[in-house]
Structure 1
Amino acid sequence: MDVNLNRRSFLRGTGAVTAAAVGAAAGLRLLTPAERALAEPGGAVDLDILYIGAHPDDEAGTLGALGQWNEYHDVRAGVITITRGEGGGNAVGLEEGPPLGLLREAEERRAVAYAGIEHVYNLDGLDFYYTASAPLSEQIWGHDSTLGRIVRVIRATRPSVIVTMNPSATDGNHGNHQQAAKLAVEAYYAAADPERFPEHADEGFQPWRVGRILQSGAVGSGPLGPDGPTVGHTPNVATDVVFGTWDGTVSERHGGERWSVVKTWAAREYISQGWGTRAFPPSDPARISSQWFTLIDTRTPYPAPTSGDLAAIEGAALQAPGGLPLGTEFYLEAPSFRVLPGTSFELVAYARAAARQPVPNATVTVDVPDGWTISGSGELGVLAPGRPAAARFTVTVPAGAVIGERFTLRGTLTTPRQGSGAVDEVVEIGAPVCGTLEPLPEIAQFREWTAANRVEHLDSLILPLLALGSGRSREIRVDLANTSDRPQSGTVTLSVPAGFGVSPASRPYQDLAPGATGAVTFTVTNTDRSLPTSNRAPNDGRYPIEIVTTYGGGSGTQDAALLLVPSLELVKATTPPRVAGDVDESEFPGDVIDISTRWEGERAPAADISGHAKITYTDDAFYVYVNITDDVLGFVLPPEDTKRQRRTDSVEINIDPRGTSANTSTVFIAGIFPITDDPANGNPPSFHRDRDNRQGPGPETAPGMEVASRVGDPYTGYTVVAKIPFDVLPDTLDPQHVGFNILINDSDTQDKASQTRIGWSTWQGVRADPYRWAVVTLPDLAAQPSSPKEPVLPDTAAKSVESAQSILQSAGDNVPLGGWRSLGDGSVEVLSASAAAGSVTAQLRAWRGGRARIFVWDGTAVLGRLDQELAAGRHTVTIPLSGAGGGSDRWLVVSLESGEANDAAAYRF
């Protein structure tokens, strides 16, 4: 039986295929997720939950919750993945770039299928390399284009709940993850706004009001065991709303295993990322954790977070017991996040009835904290479907409210017969004049974003930080902003801990006008060089400082911290050291550097992994010596695969030429592998530049750089020597402030995964944060003007129009490939297809011209491919078959692309 599938046949009813028909065509076998997607009634997707992440595998932690919600409550989830992860590592082969992206897409589809997820939307964003920079991610992906594609998918799939990653610029947060979450937050608002991306309506995708957006994960502590969701999570920020779903629920669908085990099965599908041997969770139910979800924003009332495993989605995707009709909106809005002591503000409660369900006699009440007052009427009368109503209240903040404290305003919408629902609005007590530590550039951009999108509460976990070299001084700025309605004068005092000095201790400011900003500066010096640096210091290396700002009638305090990083004055070499495996470290003048501090991974004794290093320089190059003690040699890579150095034993040398880089696109990073699997050439070392100004094989991207090594036999470790010419660096050196780091990856296995990472200037995530690297000075080198080199970044992403698995899905679910513009349903159709010896011949009809990618697909592999420009009309094409494949299906799938628009069709034969 031939099955011809395209979006037009679904939407117009001219050949829609039921699940039973597809099953019959398959000989009554079990449908694959892609086939179930194609069998959607009417061809349109109607999801309950949409997860938005950056890479395949980002959703892995949520699959226990999403899976049990699907199994027992028929909650349907889909996944948006902005990239296909083509910039990641590969533990199973040599694929990289787009081929790796397509491989990772297949892994993702297999993994999420365990949770009943059949709709995966890869948005063709470029996975360029690991970064902690959301702004760099935004630059590479393109803000408006990516946001528009996310909004198009939301409008096409109409979810009730969005789940995303952490949008905050917290320490160690992956920049791709953060940017994906920021875009998810923006899309939550933009999808509901008819003035945003109005062109979507021409494609049939109307504005859609998502009921709730959640962050996967929470910061705080939550109990283990089945009572976790009802006992509740204790967040570090008391006003956070955190829901839990226990992963230990038994899955009947999966043979009585717990969802914690099924989630691990799913994670093991991501084998290219080294997850194939991921450990299984404890079997004791009392030790099984819950998946926690933190509320970002909501348009729908929600139950108490401790009401059970469904609380995260009740009131939005599921009817809440005793709650308002599903789809009823209710939320509160204050005019600003920060409110001043002794002032009043208007709080508005908005309500909207669900479609076709008027809500009679609706009343709003608002509870405020003790000592606050509120006035106003909450009588709303009848809520009509689609017509918002508002109740307005005046809230007065007590004059003695504590600056910086957060409070929850609780609103309740009640009806006589249709139930009730509650929501919270959080406000923070602000100071008339705020004195804040100068932010790092990317923190400043994040705060501007939170203000523009009215999500300032997301800034709650970001402790202001600045780095200071051991024994060095730096100028520190305190920014001032007058948020009151009258001019302000006062003082700013900066307090530092023992071992540091500040000059002066206080600074005055005068007549700062309402709405105006200003700044004062201090010089801070580390006076005690014996203080431990990096994460060797207490409190993860954070030395606390305090900023107290006075104003007319009071004062406010901001807590911040200094990160004390190593500092070293290099000694110039009178004779350049030899770059040879038998070099003696005495050829390197200067101090010995301890690089044995663990910063990530498993704890290990010194005999397992430890080391020391030395750095010197000449007029034109750095010379670096590294000596590593190691007990087990990890997987030895062939020369052609010596990249992504985190996979096995390797040395990373990081250089920020002027010590001012906001991210690694303007630095130099070399990964050096001490040995390769190349016996014909003596198993030499190899080096590769990664996640920096110019990625790629070392000889191509750093001409003139030299490396040598000596590997112990019997193996007890290795030494590496490197010469790094100054002219391969992305800028000239500032001899007074060069960022420098040496990091070591230690693998004790043969599965292309490292277990422990040690180094010199060490913090979680430090490899992507140049500001936390050590500071070196070159006293005998002449200063030169800055002359930066433009970053050379990867520019080839895997594309959905070239993915047979994506085309097969798009052919039936009415969502354009990659979230790009729809070319028009039915723009391409497959009229027939038949196989002959070594080829498949097909009849196509194109209603408009474009580039066609035609695949023969067996459910697991591409058996043949043909790319061809098609004009409008009928066409006969022959696709040579290149392999036998391993699947039991036979599909012809076609994408047609014109500009940024596309269409898809599929034909089973």
Structure 2
Amino acid sequence: MVLGLIREGEERAADGLGGIENIYYLDKPDFWYTLSAPLTARIWDAADTLARLVRLVRLTTPHTIVVMDPRPFNQHGGHQLSARLGIEAFRLASDAQAYPGQLAEEGLAPWRPTRLLAQNFGFESVLGPDAPERPRTDPDTGLPILGVWSGARSREHDATWAQVERDATRLYVTQGFAAMPARVPTDPQQIGSEWFTVVADDGRFLEAPVHRQAELKPLYAEFAAWADRTGLPWLANRVQPDYPPNPTTTIPAVTTAPIVNGVDEPGKYPGPELPLAVWQGGGSCTAIAKLARHNDDLYVFVDVTDDRKGAELAADDIKRHWRTDAVEIAIDPRGNSDDTSTTFKTGIMPYTASPGGPAAERDADNRQGLTPPGMQVAAVVTEPYRGYSAEVKIPLTELPGPVDPTAFAMNILVYDSDTDDKTGRTRLAWSPFGSPQADPYVWGTATLADYLPSPTTARPPAIPQTDTRSADSPASLAQSKRTGIPIAGNPRPRPAR
């Protein structure tokens, strides 16, 4: 709850720089990073969230609604779902047949917003003040694009809006954004724009030709079905990217159980060496991985060449491993997961603050936070520092479900920090397309040679659902008193007769 209140304070301060006075929270848990809107919808109770959002639209009567990009590839499932719900609320708020109790019992009236915009990140490389003047069309949906140049000056701040945005972003300290450079370019030709897809204008959805894709993966097929139900099928045009071929390897069986000591000894890992490629950043870090299996245990060895240590996390701060130098191992035991709630993901930090040994945790998976019984971790850090090696034993019987030896999927990632401020700089992965830490469709296939799995049962995901309530927030309570709008999108008291 404390973190939620801290983040609310950061958000109110940041948005305040842009002149935003009121922020409304719907009291839904901000759980771990996922690329799945359907998973988020289950955790948020999407039907309840939509009702609250329609109520807020009717109470606040906006003329323009701006949502995030609703499309599924390479972005947070919470962002996707909030965009979907915003699109649905745009339509439903004006429909007297939608949530009639809000009208009859709360005294609200239907409200039709004029314009609906969705963030579009496909034009970020287009710079300069003249860029938004040119008519543009989104190449995927076919809808028109609106650009707003960020180089215009804010009279209140005596700075460009690009600089105001950077100042605001750096106020999100708990998300690591304070480490961003303080200044943005001052050359107008180096300043970009904010780009939006115009989804609706004059109170009505815009239409575009529909371009269907065949053989959509389940996550993209679900989005296409939602777009059809919402009456916006063109939003699903070209929705599924062209995934590259998944890498493949064979995990050999070894007759003697490897000693987990962070050292690659002769004969310990007889299988092929797996090179890890850069998928974000561009530092000097390089890495390779090796795999082996003994009975029901998987062994992973990762060797990292690096030129600077990252921050040493404290023993009570073993979480969010991407803030420093770390290895991540992601496993989909049957190779059929649509999101990471049915996978195993562990982050391994090769060093920590005193006493300084390696540490591990689980993140954004079937059992976040808890390493399974029998898991072992070791690391060797070079002195003087030139990198490290990390080794882990993972019991296959402790994975979220039964193992399919021929479809076993996994990814191996390395995070390189090169700073002391708990922020990452470079990321590498065996399979580096898109968001490879969170997209099981990307992960490589690792056939388990000669393996007859021990019987196991699938484990339902345990997803943390703790959240900060608006009732616990002095700022939200004060805002409600000032505006007369109930907290959390709750019902308005029945008007006196």
State the partner residue of 1:448: 225
Aligned residue pairs total 494
Whichever residue aligns with residue 652 of structure 1, its letter is E
1:276 aligns with 2:178: yes
- RMSD in angstroms over aligned alpha carbons? 2.0
Kindly state the Cα deviation for residue 764 of structure 1 after the two structures are TM-superposed: 2.0
Aligned to 2:258: 577
Q: In the alignment, what sits opposite 1:144? A: 47
Residue type of the partner of 1:277?
A
Q: Indicate the SS of the match to 1:215.
A: strand
Structure with more contact order per residue of length (Cα contacts < 8 Å, sep ≥ 6)? 2
Q: In structure 1, what is the equivalent of residue 236 of structure 2? A: 459
Retained in 1: the 8 A contact 2:106–2:495?
no
Q: How does 1:43-122 map to 2 (within 5 A)?
A: 98-122=1-25
Relative distance call for 1:464 and 1:216 in structure 2 (3 A) is closer
Matched residue SS, 1:139? helix
User: In the alignment, does 2:289 pair up with 1:603?
Assistant: no
Q: 1:139 to 1:238 in 2, by over 3 A?
A: closer
Secondary structure of the residue aligned to 1:771 is coil
Amino acid at match of 2:361: H
Aligned to 1:523: none
- 2:292 is the counterpart of 1:616: yes
The aligned counterpart of 1:194 is 96
Determine the C-alpha separation between the residues in 2 that align with 1:260 and 1:134. 30
Q: Which of 400, 409, 426 is 2:208 aligned to?
A: 426
1:216: which partner in 2? 119
Q: Distance between the aligned counterparts of 2:380 and 2:19, measured in 1?
A: 51
After superposition, where does 1:769-784 map in structure 2 within 5 Å?
Answer: 769-783=439-453
Q: Which residue pairs with 2:309 in the alignment?
A: 633
Higher-helix-fraction structure: 2
Indicate the residue corresponding to 1:206 in structure 2.
109
Query: Larger Rg: 1 or 2?
Result: 1
Cα displacement (A) at 1:119? 0.4
1:677 has 2:353 as partner: yes
Whole-Å separation in 2 of the counterparts to 1:456 and 1:624: 44
Rounded Cα–Cα distance in structure 2 between residues aligned with 1:613 and 1:200: 58
Task: Provide the residue aligned with 2:460 in structure 1.
Answer: 790
- 1:587 paired residue among 240, 262, 268: 268
Change (3 A) 1:789 1:220: same
2:196: which partner in 1?
293
* CA distances 1:95-146 after superposition (whole Å, capped 9, x unpaired): xxx2211111100000011111100011111111001111101111011101
Question: Is the counterpart of residue 695 in structure 1 residue 472 in structure 2?
Answer: no
Q: TM-score, normalised by structure 2?
A: 0.95
Paired letter, 1:276: A
Q: Distance in 2 between matches of 1:190 and 1:238?
A: 22
CA contact (8 A) 1:747 1:756 kept: yes
Cross-structure match for 2:484: 814
In structure 1, give the amino acid aligned to 2:257. Answer: P
The answer on whether the counterparts of 2:307 and 2:387 sit within 8 Å (CA) in structure 1 is: yes
Shift of 1:721: 0.9
1:645 lines up with 2:321 in the alignment? yes
Check conservation: 2:351, 2:381, Cα contact below 8 A. yes
**Shift in Å, 1:239:** 3.5
Secondary structure of residue in 1 paired with 2:33? coil
Alignment partners' CA distance in 1, 2:190 and 2:455 = 59
- SS of 1:112's partner is helix
Aligned partners of 2:44 and 2:448: how far apart in 1? 38
Q: Does the residue aligned with 1:297 lie in a helix, a strand or coil? A: strand
Tell me the alpha carbon deviations over residues 596-654 of structure 1, each in whole angstroms, 9 at most, x when there is no partner.
Answer: x0012x212xxx21111111111111011111101100011011111111111000011
Matched residue, 1:719: 389
Equivalent of 1:439, from 188, 196, 216? Answer: 216
Does the 8 Å contact 1:218/1:294 carry over to 2? no
SS at match of 2:312: coil
The answer to which of 573-582 and 707-716 deviates more is: 573-582
How far the C-alpha of 1:789 sits from its partner, in A, is 0.5
Superposition deviation, residue 425 in structure 1: 3.8
- Is residue 566 of structure 1 aligned with residue 259 of structure 2? no
1:260 paired with 2:37, answer no
CA deviations over 1:634-679 (Å, ceiling 9, x no partner): 0110111111111110000111111111100000000000011023
CA deviations on 1:376-407 (whole Å, 9 max, x unpaired) are xxxxxxxxxxxxxxxxxxxxxxxxxxxxxxxx
Q: Which runs of 5+ in 1 are unaligned?
A: 1-97, 301-328, 333-423, 466-541, 543-562, 827-909
Q: Aligned to 1:226, what secondary structure does the other structure show?
A: coil
Q: Distance between the aligned counterparts of 2:24 and 2:7, measured in 1?
A: 13
2-side partners of 1:787 and 1:437: how far apart? 33
Change in Cα spacing, 1:251 to 1:221, as seen in structure 2 (3 Å) is closer
- The secondary structure found in structure 1 opposite 2:360 is strand
Once the two structures are TM-superposed, the CA of residue 232 in structure 1 deviates from its matched residue by 4.0
Following superposition, the deviation at residue 234 of structure 1 comes to: 5.5
1:162 alignment partner, one of 62, 65, 70: 65
- Superposed CA offset, 1:28-51 (max 9, x none): xxxxxxxxxxxxxxxxxxxxxxxx
Cα distance in 2 for residues equivalent to 1:663 and 1:644: 19
Shift of 1:149: 0.9
Contact 2:329–2:345 at 8 Å: present in 1 too? yes
Structure 1 residues 568 and 238, CA, compared in 2 at 3 Å: closer, same or farther?
Answer: closer
Residue 181 in structure 1 maps to residue 83 in structure 2: yes
* Distance in 2 between residues matched to 1:724 and 1:149, nearest whole Å: 43
Report SS of the residue matched to 1:572.
coil
The DSSP-based 3-state class of the residue aligned with 2:178 is: coil
**Amino-acid identity (%):** 38
Give me the whole-angstrom Cα distance separating, in 2, the residues matched to 1:224 and 1:626: 40
The structure that is strand-richer by fraction is 1
Any stretches of 5+ residues in structure 2 without a counterpart?
none
Q: Secondary structure at the match of 1:426?
A: coil
* Maintained 8 Å contact 1:133/1:175: yes
Q: Cα gap change, 1:804/1:611 in structure 2, threshold over 3 Å: closer, same or farther?
A: same
* Residue aligned with 1:794, SS: coil
Match of residue 707 from structure 1: 377
Residue 431 of structure 2 aligns with which residue? 761
Aligned partners of 2:228, 2:253: CA distance in 1, in Å?
Answer: 49
The letter of the residue matching 1:101 is G
TM-score (normalised: structure 1): 0.53
